[in-house]
Amino acid sequence: MTRSATEPVVDAAEPADAVHDAEAAAAPRHRGTVAGLVAVVLVVGVLALGFGRYSVSVDHVVRILLGQLLPIDRTWSATEAAAVLNVRLPRILLSMLVGAGLAVCGAVLQAVFGNPIVSPQILGVSSGASFGGALAIVLGLGSAALVLGAFTFGLAALVAVFVISRARGPAPPLTIVLSGIVVGAFFSALVSLLTYLADPYTDLPSIVFWLLGSLAAASYAKVAVVGIPTVAGGALFLALRWRINVLSLGDEDATTLGLRPGRLRWLLLAAVAAVVAGAVAVSGVIGWVGLVVPHLARLLVGSDHRAVIPVSVLIGAAYLTVIDTVTRNLGVAEIPLGVLTALVGAPVFLVLLHNSRRRMWSHA
């Protein structure tokens, strides 16, 4: 993979100040896209707040939200306010945060490993978090312990990847990926063991439904659980966006430009692990978001991560909110979120891969 010598991130002779100046000059190119996607996210959120088995008009949704901030005339019922603020708002905030977090993590991982088919599941964090949550269910520890267990074991999976991959010195990207696959397989086996041992009448249905992904148990507390690592991780990715561009070129180019690729890679992986562990802790395993959305982002703005990162965040937030709204309204029983993301994501990814594989990942 190569870039044109005119691009700021690959000119080894160009100082960091000039790179940042070039970033500032190039930023307006994608501001319209970002602004448009912000509007899309807001519209999707408002529509999702009103859409459900108990319908609330868009006008009332907007007035209910504004009524929490401004002294306006009350034209809505208490039932409508309860449906919007207590039931749907935490769920929609959760779907936006989880979607944004998984999407931006996918974009960062694909850059870190220089591979467009890498997803957040590759590090074994999702499998570790799944084991932690399933263990809490089998032990009957309650929902708070489920979230804590999933988050803890998700981070433990990354620690295991770090220890295994660095057993004989600094770890190249391929070794990290292979270590993640091994750790993920190990935790997946433990999840299978727990599923086999679980009570088939009480624990087993809970484990299966949680592993398939769902936001049905959304709450403001869970919004905080996923919101803190997602916002912190997103801010870190934005702050390091030009370094991510450089890292995507390979370790040799990154070293030439004065970066320490090993340290930067592990810093980014630690942030990714925290975001993914938080997402799995509150929603279960939701696949394909971190794989498909970064490709959609590159289709819109190219491979420059100064634009790919915010665009991935916005597309991921809107995408998962739409999918979750469909799952809770499509049938009498709620469809697991992970099932629908796979049914939608797989064909979309195939279309993107077939039609746009060259310009989505080409640096030329």
Reported as a single tens digit per residue, the pLDDT across 192-222 is: 999 999 999 989 999 999 899 999 999 999 9
Looking at the domain assignment, is residue 5 inside a domain?
Answer: no
Mean pLDDT lowest for which of 18-22, 190-194, 333-337? Answer: 18-22
**How many Å apart are CA 8 and CA 246, to the nearest integer?**
10
**How many Å apart are CA 161 and CA 124, to the nearest integer?**
8
**How many Å apart are CA 280 and CA 337, to the nearest integer?**
12
- What's the pLDDT at 19? 44
Query: Is pLDDT of 18 > 60?
Result: no
Query: Is pLDDT of 43 > 80?
Result: yes
Looking at the domain assignment, is residue 338 inside a domain?
Answer: yes
CA 21 to chain CA mean position, Å: 30
**How many Å apart are CA 237 and CA 311, to the nearest integer?**
13
Q: Across all residues in the chain, what is the average pLDDT? A: 88
> Domain containing 255 — which CATH number?
1.10.3470.10
Confidence of residue 358 (pLDDT cuts 50, 70, 90): low
What is the pTM for the complete model shown?
Answer: 0.88
Confidence of residue 258 (pLDDT cuts 50, 70, 90): confident
Whose tokens are 């937030």? That residue is 317
Looking at the domain assignment, is residue 174 inside a domain?
Answer: yes
Looking at the domain assignment, is residue 53 inside a domain?
Answer: no
Mean pLDDT lowest for which of 48-52, 258-262, 305-309, 328-332? Answer: 328-332
Looking at the domain assignment, is residue 103 inside a domain?
Answer: yes
Looking at the domain assignment, is residue 104 inside a domain?
Answer: yes
In the chain, the number of structural domains is: 1
Query: Is pLDDT of 333 > 90?
Result: no
Q: What range defines the domain where residue 178 resides?
A: 99-350
Confidence of residue 82 (pLDDT cuts 50, 70, 90): very high
Confidence of residue 73 (pLDDT cuts 50, 70, 90): confident
Confidence of residue 274 (pLDDT cuts 50, 70, 90): very high
Looking at the domain assignment, is residue 10 inside a domain?
Answer: no
Read off the pLDDT of residues 115-174 as tens digits, 9 standing for 90 and up. Answer: 888 898 888 999 999 999 999 999 999 888 999 999 999 999 999 999 999 888 777 888
Mean pLDDT lowest for which of 18-22, 118-122, 147-151, 310-314? Answer: 18-22
Looking at the domain assignment, is residue 299 inside a domain?
Answer: yes
Q: Of 274, 250, 275, which is closest to residue 264 (Cα–Cα)?
A: 250
Residues 305/244, Cβ–Cβ less than 8 Å = yes
